[in-house]
Amino acid sequence: MLDTAKNIAPVLILLGPPGAGKGTQARMLEEQFGFVQLSTGDLLRAAVAAGTEAGQRAKAVMEAGQLVSDDIVIAILRDRMAEDDCAKGVILDGFPRTAVQAEALDDLLAETGQKIDAAISLEVDDAAMVTRIAGRYTCGGCGEGYHDSFKQPAKAGTCDKCGGTEMKRRADDNAETVASRLEAYHAQTAPLITYYKGQGALIGIDAMGEIEDIAAKMSAIVKTATA
Ligand code: AMP
């Protein structure tokens, strides 16, 4: 049990396969509502880069496109959620990804008498995800996302947002790994749609359109769910 658990409100979950736009949408909601985007993928990549014990255990699994063990991910999430800024509300991006993680999150929230406000499922076609993922990259300075085909910066190699010139591509954003990541999603994460439906928390959204249109729909959903 976490003795540093804080009352965090609201708690939103973004569900969807890799490439569905969870990170992009979470960042937009973070800017609009002041919530904290909490991506276990980002936390794990930071642990790998820092060479922590958890990072060393996670590295090969992430490179193979498989899921990191529940104990590692849950511990990382609990630590992060105990930080002060999370009291503003969190958008969970990429967590939970298994039934064990979903139950651990429910238990963690129950410690402060809370539950999830909404689990938003981004519905997309798998076939489009490979192209989306293989072409994406981010600014190393501010994290703004770009894409070779869909969203180039105005000046090639320079971030529109912060002017940074160091663009990064993820080691696991390649066609082979994407296939494993999609498989892991369908086998282990998609069943959570039923789990949150059972809690009355699930909201499905067609996420195949333009980023701004989806963002507008998300924003309306979040306003209603957190009103
Ligand atoms: P993401 O940035 O969400 O696409 O995650 C990148 C990789 O980190 C995934 O392919 C997994 O290997 C690992 N990962 C991130 N979040 C989780 C999680 N909640 N459970 C297990 N593995 C995760």
The pLDDT assigned to 12 comes to 97
Check: CB of residue 71 under 8 Å from CB of residue 18.
no
pLDDT for res 3 = 43
- Taking 50 as the pLDDT cut, the residues of the chain under it are 1-6
Which residue in 45, 59, 80, 181 is the catalytic one? 181
According to the model, what pLDDT value does residue 150 have? 87
For a ligand 1 pocket test, name from 45, 67, 176 the mutation site with the most ligand atoms within 8 angstroms of its C-beta.
67
pLDDT at 11: 95
Is-catalytic flag, 27?
no
Ligand 1 center–CA 82 separation, angstroms: 20
Residue type, 177: T
Instruction: From the candidates 57, 88, 151, 170, give the one annotated as an active-site residue.
Output: 170
Tell me how far apart the alpha carbons of residues 118 and 25 are, in angstroms, rounded to a whole number: 15
Per-residue HEC secondary structure of 157-188 comes to CECCCCCCCCEECCCCCCHHHHHHHHHHHHHH
Q: Give pLDDT, residue 193.
A: 98
Task: State both tokens at 197.
Answer: 């439906």
49, 55 in Cβ contact below 8 A?
Answer: yes
Question: What is the pLDDT at residue 2?
Answer: 43
